[in-house]
Amino acid sequence: MPSITTAASSPGQLMHEFMLQLSQGTRAGSGLATMHAAGVTLPQMMALHILHTQPTCTVNELAEALGLPMSTTSVLVQRLVEKKWARRTENPNDRREKQLSLSKSGLNLITDLDRDRAKTLTRSLADLPKPLREEFLVVVGKCLAVLRAMPARIVQKDAP
């Protein structure tokens, strides 16, 4: 695959190409196979990941985080609840509002998918020369430390 990056590439473009390169020659679809076997769609998986990082949120907050209409998100949430991957409970401070949280089986599903993806990425990174791989992992570790220290943010605004 020819390089899609240039000197003017954005950080997002560079990360996108990096992930594409990592996926080449691996079982990139192994996570998809796990999702298919579980009967979970990509939007449902994204919602479960949000619920994993945000212990409770409302349907409206989830819709905003996913960038989906409220009606679509309501249907998505209903399916997550029916499959017992998420719980919907009454907000103790406002009975009209429902709070969403990840269930134990939802957490197990996320854990299995994350483990599959981590294995795939580990195999792909093994193709890099060891000194470069070690340097890369140190930089990624530093970046993660900074990002983890930031306040939680459920809705991401598009950056320029």
pTM comes to 0.75
- pLDDT for 96 equals 83
pLDDT exceeds 90 at position 114 = no
* Residue 96 located in a structural domain: yes
Look at the block and give the residue holding tokens 């619920």. 51
* Residue 133 located in a structural domain: no
Q: For 33-44, write each residue's pLDDT tens digit.
A: 777 888 889 899
Q: For 59-98, write each residue's pLDDT tens digit.
A: 999 999 999 999 999 999 999 999 999 999 988 888 888 8
What tokens were used for 52? 């994993």
pLDDT exceeds 80 at position 8 = no
On the 0-12 / 13-18 / 19+ scale of CB atoms within 10 A, 10 is exposed
**From the CB of residue 100, how many other CB atoms can be counted at a distance below 10 Å?**
23
Q: Which of 43, 71, 45, 42 is nearest to 59 (CA)?
A: 71
Grouping H, G, I as helix, E, B as strand and the rest as coil, residue 158 is: coil
* Residue 79 located in a structural domain: yes
What tokens were used for 9? 């590439």
Grouping H, G, I as helix, E, B as strand and the rest as coil, residue 115 is: helix
Q: The domain containing residue 119 runs over which residues?
A: 29-125
Q: What's the total number of domains in the chain?
A: 1
* Residue 63 located in a structural domain: yes
* Residue 72 located in a structural domain: yes
* Residue 105 located in a structural domain: yes
* Residue 47 located in a structural domain: yes
CATH code for the domain of 87:
1.10.10.10
- pLDDT for 20 equals 81
* Residue 36 located in a structural domain: yes
What tokens were used for 76? 């998505």
Measured between alpha carbons, how far is 45 from 76 in angstroms, rounded to an integer?
10
Phi, psi of 59 (to 5 degrees): -60, -40
